[in-house]
């Protein structure tokens, strides 16, 4: 069996999805997602210029060797661009394998460990009252877990994860008005003074059963993160996400010495080498990698297995920048993983997205029901894809009030 060709598509409804389609001499094809949010054309160029010309003629069933060929063969290893490009190839090869076996991917991993996978949504409000409306909306939809992000009184701009318009949840991450980023202003003192009480208010208002998650988005120093974690302990958070910048793995030691609040980290990690220490030293409770940014199913499965040995559960990244293809790959891992925790989930649901990526995966009552279709269980409509093209956009950047650059 041989790979005969591969194509990369960039575009989608309100997103620059990077979709890879790998064709074979037996008519079976596979799909992968290389969407690196805000830098989408770069994995696409890597695929087109280096990886696809090497793929042609390879046996698609040898997904492990192909992964090693590209990873080891590059010499200059890792990094989000390369790992997203490898990820798309890897997802597509697993998709082909599942289709050849006529089985959903979770069967190839070891079968189902649960009926449905718990997901969380993003609630957001420019103030606490708007945030409560947003949380109520998700509870009424059947969600059992919600990430809560709130505007901070006196902060000049909205703060991380807070939509500018009420009710707008999906599109606040990328601003498509141009390639130059908007500037947000951050004030740690105001955040630290306001947010713990706001979280406690949410707990009191919604009661003990709601799983409440909160994302700090890398904005605190290790000491501030430890103090913050200690002060939110009475809230009983399901997790505190990215309390410190992710590069410094030792930063979490101070937080661990002062608090037992569950910590989730890893959406910016590309490999097991970015998180093995965090996992082995029990510095985190949830690993947040995604199949797109961390090298695909083959590599993420290794991370999940390492995490399982140390009682670290999964909480895969699922921001709306991921296409339904990588969300499907994660859904199969979630159905199987003995150490599954929760899945961030926002991507599906618009008619345009469903038309571009038809699938039988379903969300019901805050639980993700994986499709029993062969392979990934998601398709890609190339004629629909012709409606879309790359649009320049950017994340905001963050500065302190005096102009100092800060972490987005
Ligand atoms: C999350 C993340 C995202 C990131 C985004 C950057 O927890 O979902 O923090 O919202 O900001 O993925 O591209
Ligand atoms: Mg996050």
Neighbours of ion ligand 2 (CB under 5 A): 215
- Ligand 1, atom 4: closest residue by C-alpha: 319
Show the CA angle centred on residue 147, arms to residues 290 and 390, nearest 5°. Answer: 50
The verdict on the CB of residue 16 being under 6 Å from ligand 1 is: no
Substitution site in 35, 160, 170, 217 for ligand 1 pocket (most atoms within 8 Å of beta carbon) = 217
Specify whether 160 is catalytic: yes
Q: Round the average pLDDT of the chain to a whole number and report it.
A: 95
The verdict on the CB of residue 162 being under 6 Å from ligand 1 is: no
Q: Give the single-character DSSP code of 233.
A: G
Q: Which atom of ligand 1 is nearest to the CA of 241?
A: 7
Report H helices in 102-179.
105-109, 128-140
For residue 50, how far is its CA from the centre of ligand 2 (angstroms)?
31
Q: What is the mean pLDDT of residues 367-395?
A: 96
Cα 150 from chain centroid (whole Å): 20
The verdict on the CB of residue 157 being under 6 Å from ligand 1 is: no
pLDDT of residue 162: 86
Residue 167 confidence (pLDDT) above 80: no
Q: Which atom of ligand 1 is nearest to the CA of 344?
A: 8
pLDDT digits (tens, 9 = 90+) for 66-96: 999 999 999 999 999 999 999 999 999 999 9
Residue 170 confidence (pLDDT) above 50: no
Specify whether 214 is catalytic: no
Q: What is the mean pLDDT of residues 346-350?
A: 70
Residue whose tokens read 């969407």: 35
214: β partners? 240
pTM of the entire predicted model: 0.97
Beta-sheet pairing, 397-400 with 405-406 = antiparallel
Return the SS3 of 151. coil
Residue 177 confidence (pLDDT) above 90: no
Domains and CATH numbers, the chain: 3-103 (3.30.390.10), 108-406 (3.20.20.120)
Contact 406, 33 (CB under 8 A): no
For residue 319, how far is its CA from the centre of ligand 1 (angstroms)?
5
- Ligand 1, atom 11: closest residue by C-alpha: 173
Return the SS3 of 67. helix
pLDDT of residue 249: 86
Residue 57 confidence (pLDDT) above 90: yes
CA dist 314 → 317, 323, 337 (Å):
9, 19, 8
């Amino acid at each position: 069996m041989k790979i005969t060709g591969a194509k990369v598509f960039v575009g989608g409804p309100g997103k620059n999805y990077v979709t890879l389609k790998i064709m074979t001499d037996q008519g079976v094809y596979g799909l992968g997602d290389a969407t690196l949010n805000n830098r989408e054309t770069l994995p696409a160029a890597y695929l087109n210029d280096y990886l696809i010309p090497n793929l042609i003629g390879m046996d698609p069933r040898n997904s492990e060797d192909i992964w090693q060929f590209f990873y080891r063969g590059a010499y200059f290893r890792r990094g989000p661009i390369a790992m997203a490009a490898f990820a798309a190839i890897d997802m597509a090869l697993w998709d082909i394998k599942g289709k050849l076996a006529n089985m959903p991917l979770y069967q190839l991993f070891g079968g189902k460990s649960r009926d449905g996978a718990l997901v969380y949504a993003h609630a957001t409000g420019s103030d606490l009252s708007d945030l409560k409306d947003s949380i109520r909306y998700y509870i009424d939809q059947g969600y059992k877990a919600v990430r809560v992000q709130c505007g901070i009184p006196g902060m000049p701009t909205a703060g991380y994860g807070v939509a500018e318009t009420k009710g707008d949840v999906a599109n606040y991450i990328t601003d498509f008005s141009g390639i130059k980023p908007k500037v947000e202003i951050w004030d740690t003192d105001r955040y630290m003074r306001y947010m713990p009480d706001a979280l406690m208010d949410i707990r009191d208002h919604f009661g003990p059963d709601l799983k409440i998650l909160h994302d700090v988005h890398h904005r605190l120093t290790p000491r501030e993160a430890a103090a913050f974690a200690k002060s939110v302990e009475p809230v009983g958070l399901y997790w505190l996400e990215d309390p410190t910048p992710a590069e410094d793995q030792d930063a979490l030691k101070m937080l661990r010495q002062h608090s037992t609040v569950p910590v989730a980290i890893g959406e910016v990690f590309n490999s097991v080498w970015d998180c093995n220490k965090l996992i082995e030293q029990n510095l985190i409770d949830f690993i947040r990698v995604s199949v797109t940014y961390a090298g695909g199913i083959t590599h993420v499965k290794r991370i999940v297995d390492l995490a399982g040995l140390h009682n670290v559960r999964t909480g895969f990244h699922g921001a709306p920048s991921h296409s339904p293809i990588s969300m499907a790959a994660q859904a199969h891992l979630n159905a199987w993983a003995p150490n599954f925790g929760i899945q961030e989930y926002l991507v599906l649901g618009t008619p345009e997205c469903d038309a571009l990526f038809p699938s039988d995966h379903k969300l019901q009552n805050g639980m993700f029901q994986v499709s029993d279709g062969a392979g990934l269980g998601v398709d890609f409509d190339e004629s629909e894809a012709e409606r879309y093209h790359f649009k320049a956009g950017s994340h905001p950047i963050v500065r302190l009030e005096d102009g100092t650059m800060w972490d987005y």
